[in-house]
Structure 1
Amino acid sequence: MSNVETEPAELACGAGPAGPGRVEVLEARSVPLGGPRAMPVRRTLPQRKRSLIGAWCFADHYGPVDPATGGGMSVGPHPHTGLQTVSWLFAGEIEHRDSLGSHALVRPGELNLMTGGHGICHEEVSTPETSTLHGVQLWVALPEEHRHTRRDFRHYAPPVTELPGATARVFLGTLAGETSPVRTYSPLLGAELVLEPGANLALVADPAFEHGVLVDLGEVTFAGTRLGSTRLGYLGTGESTLDLHNPGPEPARVLLLGGPPFGEEILMWWNFVARSHEEIVQFREEWEAGAARFGAVAPHPGGPARLPAPALPAVRIKPRGNPA
């Protein structure tokens, strides 16, 4: 998915874990997903309070929405550098096309992971059959060693893992004895958890990881802190157990994200992850010039138009990172 803001903030993001046992609650802000009938998305990463959780650097949470009345998803060809995109749906269907030649459908409970290291472009459109669209779009920052890697696209349908009072779908990393075969370029955890009413769940965790819990349905208590729907709870390193509780009368659904503190400062602007202002300027110029770095998406009859890059900010960015 693209960041389609017309005046995107240019962000310098760095890691800085919070202390053990302290949950930081991140509120989402609403961002329109472009167009005259824009579908609003709820963005919890990045923000001034916290920029990254492990290598996770971007989180948009959207729906449930009826595409016929809420605009749906219609994001034309747009570029990416220095990151991997993670698409995860709870309901609906999205058609994905990219300059690698991939043509895939994003469906509920199935991971679509696109690597846009050196450069890639893609488009995403909700299918005509979709009556309800509901999901998340996540970005993973690539470390310096791998940020110029070649384009790639992977699809994976994780099995449902039964847990006491809950189920899990582990789409990246390892949790509860289940390991995703999908490659990432830094240690990561990504899983969907559904907790039954009243369930208490204690998950074995890697103490080298920091973790985030994004609440989709219901509300949960995470390490003693109550999180309402759409909120993201952050827990720093040093925890060997993650405690989750569903206090409500209905099932609760969350995404669990994790990874060791990233340890590198990154620069984010529009759909680019870079290391300097000069790189951002270069990437923008190459996209506007139709350079080979990004390739091209095969024409899609009736599809959305190619997205132009927004104007660059008038000043250079001043670095800022996560709180200590």
Structure 2
Amino acid sequence: MGYSYRDAGVDIQAGNDVVERIKPAVARTLRPGVLGGLGGFGGLFTLDLKKYSDPVLVSGTDGVGTKLRLAFQMNRHDTIGQDAVAMCVNDILVQGAEPLFFLDYLAVGKVNPGKVAEVVGGIARACEISGCALIGGETAEMPGFYAEDEYDIAGFAVGVVNRDRLIDGSNIQAGDVLIGLPSTGLHSNGYSLVRKLFEGYSLDDVLPELGEPLGNVLLRPTQIYVKTILPLLEGKTIKGMVHITGGGLTENIPRVLPSGLGVQIDRAAWKRPAIFDLLQRLGDVEWAEMYRTFNMGIGFVLIVGPDDEELVRRQLAVRGESSYVLGKVSAGEGVCY
């Protein structure tokens, strides 16, 4: 009897089992515009041209990074999919886009149908949260490239906005106000430094500063801001938005500012989650490094005119979202604290 693909480490039947397991979760993400079902060579989606008469498609892609290592250590895979979705849909939201659909790419050392279904189930739940359809994906079994119990994940999101509603920050001016929305913690950035600083600790450790197991804090998924923010855009009060990812507040905010403008931020305007002060103390990390590596408790920023600040914060409160006035736009460059 000759060798088979399975003998080489690739189990086609296990991949087929995964597809059957995830179909119910994927079905729950369907929304108007989706054509066909799971399993085709390409995902199909049709635009509603009555709602979007002059559509601009906005796309984004991202991964989860070394946060995955913690999922491996804890053998917990139900939240990591939300990180993959959130990093993409929050990015395209910045330009005012409504997420339409999402695709994932999952590369594994060995297909474990239960584990893969857990990861994709998290992706599907996050798609439901953000209102986008999971219309396709790929699970690639790569023996000898990844360890049997390891995987990597990437996501791809496409959204749409009418051209006249595109938010590009071009009308931001000095005196405008920065409104910050809280993060759920570290989200998905800075984990190479985090893992370095927590060497020697167990993920089961309950540190006094945190009040819960370390692993729970570090694996908490990235917040998805889509359904909170999209209704606010109808009022045309938002001049600019920022997703606080790698680079923190320091490097992300200037990306949406017109030339010649910077921001002044009051670091006392919000209470940092305890994990950030703990990290700073453990590594004696300079505060400037902290603010350009981590989100420091702020996951998303809105920039509005001073006359719209109270209105926007009331609208956020109605939707159950806390907010903070972080500071103001000013003449100059960069971010001053």
Tell me the TM-score normalized by structure 1. 0.25
Larger radius of gyration between Structure 1 and Structure 2: 2
Tell me the TM-score normalized by structure 2. 0.25
Write 1 or 2 for the structure with the bigger share of strand. Answer: 1
Write 1 or 2 for the structure with the bigger share of helix. Answer: 2
